[in-house]
Amino acid sequence: MSAPILTVENMDVSFKIASENYKALENITFSVYPNEVVGIVGESGCGKSLTSQAILGILPKNAIVEQGKMKYKHVDLRELKDKDWRKIRGKNISMIFQEPMTALNPLVTVGKQISEGLKVHTSYSKDEMKKRTIQMMEKVGLPRAKELYKAYPHQLSGGMQQRVVIAIALIAEPDLIIADEPTTALDVTIQAQILALFRKIKYERKSSMIFISHDWGVIRNICDRVLVMYAGHIVEEGTLSEILNNPKHPYTKALIQAIPDHRKRGIELFTIPGKVPSLQDRKRDVCPFADRCSHRFDACDKEVPKIERIEGTHAAKCHLYTKEAGLHRDYTNH
């Protein structure tokens, strides 16, 4: 495998609430390789958006990266000053958000917003910029690009707005795109259209992507590799088929079984008892999932399990698989 585009190592992020420190992300470690789509999946509050914000240096004011390494190719992202960040954001790494309407400036035409990235990062002439902008608009499937160039965001539908957001993210040809729930706010048919566009980008442009979603259907249709997050931890990682066909962590298993569809008609859905603990209620130094886990045993309440390689790229953070506690236990798949 070639060198990774992005590496994150042992990253911890904390929130300061009422002069108390709460750890929101713990020991986040992963890499993104060229031409790879890495999915981050989890329920709300598990820290998937926070991870992307930490990478891009856009954490909320009361959150800080406490420790860990973040590297984009050879650039240490934690050392970057604001001035250097401006060169990297958009040009090398760009971000796509959930709500297209809030990501776009309502007072600036679509064309201007898309070409903004060229203005900042290149020295093209005006005509060249316009030409490239219109080409990009056509690439992301915006019809009548020349007319829409002068349109304002509110004149477009939600799906079209999201295409504009994607064009903005792609215009400076970044090699890493971070997309945070980019299809969640859209209707099903539009979601499928946008997902098809992401697939096209993946195959044609060979860019790497981090694709954040709570929707396994979306993850299934775009990602190569998946990180499953729970309560600020990456609890399982592996290729798409490893995770979907052979999930190891009890949380991943339960989550996949909880998804309703027509094949499960008449059958009671599998559920996880309890709820995701809020930031303030999280227990430290024990397995974060122990309270809700049906396989809980003594080791789970003693320490946080280490992430343990199961085979190849597949790894899980669960005592059932750690050498110290779990391997001698008789654990069969449920």
Partner 1 sequence: MTTPIIEVEDLHKFFKQARKNSLDKNKYVRAVNEVSFSLCEGESFGLVGESGSGKSTLGQVILQLIKQTSGTVKYRGKNVSSFTKKELKAWRRQVQIVFQNPYASLNPKKSIGWTVEEPLHIHKIGDRVFRRQRAIEVLEEVGLDHSFMDRYPHELSGGQRQRIAIATAIILEPEFIVIDEGVSALDVSVQAQILNLLKKLQRKYKLTYLFISHDLNVVQYFCNRIAVMYLGEIIEIGKTVELGSSPKHPYTKGLFSSILSIEEADELKLLEGDLHRFSNDIEACPFHDRCKFAMDICQSVKPKRQKVGNYHEVGCHLYDIKNENKESILKVN
Which residues lie closer than 8 Å to 136 by C-beta, 6 or more apart? Answer: 114, 167, 170, 171
What's the min distance (Å) between Cβ of 296 and partner 1?
A: 17
What's the min distance (Å) between Cβ of 310 and partner 1?
A: 20
Look at the alpha carbons of 242, 245, 248, 252 in this order and tell me if their dihedral is positive or negative.
positive
Q: Binding partner 1 by CB under 8 A: which of 86, 264, 283, 334?
A: 264
The residue (of 67 and 245) whose beta carbon lies closer to partner 1 is: 245
Q: Binding partner 1 by CB under 8 A: which of 146, 259, 280, 294?
A: 259
Residue 275 near partner 1 by CB under 8 A: yes
Residues 207-246: x where in contact with partner 1 by CB under 8 A, - otherwise, as a string: -------xxxxx-xx----------------------x--
Q: At what angle do helices 126-139 and 110-121 cross, to 10 degrees?
A: 120
Residue 204 near partner 1 by CB under 8 A: no
Alpha-carbon distance 244 to 167, whole Å? 31
3-state secondary structure of 244: helix
* Per-residue b or e along 14-39, where b marks 16 or more CB atoms closer than 10 Å to that residue's CB: bbeeeeeebbbbbbbbbbbbeebbbb
- Give the DSSP per-residue string, 11-55: EEEEEEETTEEEEEEEEEEEEE-TT-EEEEE--TTSSHHHHHHHH
Residue 281 near partner 1 by CB under 8 A: no
Residue 147 near partner 1 by CB under 8 A: no
The residue (of 21 and 155) whose beta carbon lies closer to partner 1 is: 155
What is the residue whose two structure tokens read 């007072």? 107
The site that binds partner 1 (CB under 8 A) totals a number of residues, namely 42
Residues 104-143: x where in contact with partner 1 by CB under 8 A, - otherwise, as a string: ----------------------------------------
Q: Which stretch binds partner 1 (CB under 8 A): 4-12, 116-124, 193-201, 293-301?
A: 193-201
What's the min distance (Å) between Cβ of 193 and partner 1?
A: 6
Q: Binding partner 1 by CB under 8 A: which of 147, 261, 285, 298?
A: 261
Alpha-carbon distance 139 to 173, whole Å? 13
The residue (of 130 and 163) whose beta carbon lies closer to partner 1 is: 163
Name residue 72's beta-bridge partners.
Answer: 6, 75
> Which of 49, 60, 30, 41 minimizes the C-alpha distance to 180?
49
Q: At what angle do helices 110-121 and 158-170 cross, to 10 degrees?
A: 10
The residue (of 97 and 230) whose beta carbon lies closer to partner 1 is: 230
What's the min distance (Å) between Cβ of 45 and partner 1?
A: 9
Residue 189 near partner 1 by CB under 8 A: yes
Alpha-carbon distance 32 to 19, whole Å? 35
CA angle 146, 204, 144 (to 5 degrees): 15
Residues in touch with partner 1 (CB under 8 A) = 43-44, 157, 159-160, 187-193, 195-196, 199, 214-218, 220-221, 244, 254-256, 258-265, 268-272, 275-276, 278
